[in-house]
């Protein structure tokens, strides 16, 4: 699943940020990393850069929580394609994979 599927994925530089639940720090590491990338990338660079966030956790509740957080704060960047969010399909046998 691609959250902002209408925006073309084109860029000179692609930065991949995989994320999964981290009980000790929550989403703080993702929040800090995204904020740093967004604030330290100038507007011209943003047109040539794509940040791809891969929500790799199998927990649907966590996936929606991350999507909501990113959408609430970075909607503008989702609309321009500077930030992309990818969510792989949940395997049919996900109950056999350790969480």
pLDDT of residue 40: 96
CA dihedral for 33, 16, 4, 79, sign (positive or negative) = positive
Mean local confidence (pLDDT), 57-72: 92
Residue ranges covered by each domain of the chain: 13-90
Mean local confidence (pLDDT), 3-20: 75
Q: pTM of the entire structure?
A: 0.79
Whether 30 shows a pLDDT value over 60: the answer reads: yes
Mean local confidence (pLDDT), 2-9: 57
Strand, coil or helix: what is 4?
coil
Alpha-helical (H) ranges within 1-99 are 28-40, 43-46, 60-80
Mean local confidence (pLDDT), 12-22: 90
Q: How far is CA 92 from CA 18, 20, 21, 49, 95, in A?
A: 21, 19, 20, 34, 8
């Amino acid at each position: 699943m691609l959250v902002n599927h209408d925006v073309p994925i084109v860029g000179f530089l692609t930065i991949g940020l995989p994320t999964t639940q981290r009980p000790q720090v929550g989403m703080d590491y993702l929040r800090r990393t995204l904020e740093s990338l967004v604030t330290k990338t100038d507007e011209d660079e943003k047109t040539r850069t794509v940040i791809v966030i891969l929500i790799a956790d199998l927990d649907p509740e966590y996936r929606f929580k991350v999507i909501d957080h990113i959408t609430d704060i970075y909607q503008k960047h989702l609309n321009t394609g500077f930030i992309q969010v990818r969510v792989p399909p949940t395997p049919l046998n996900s109950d056999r994979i350790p969480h």
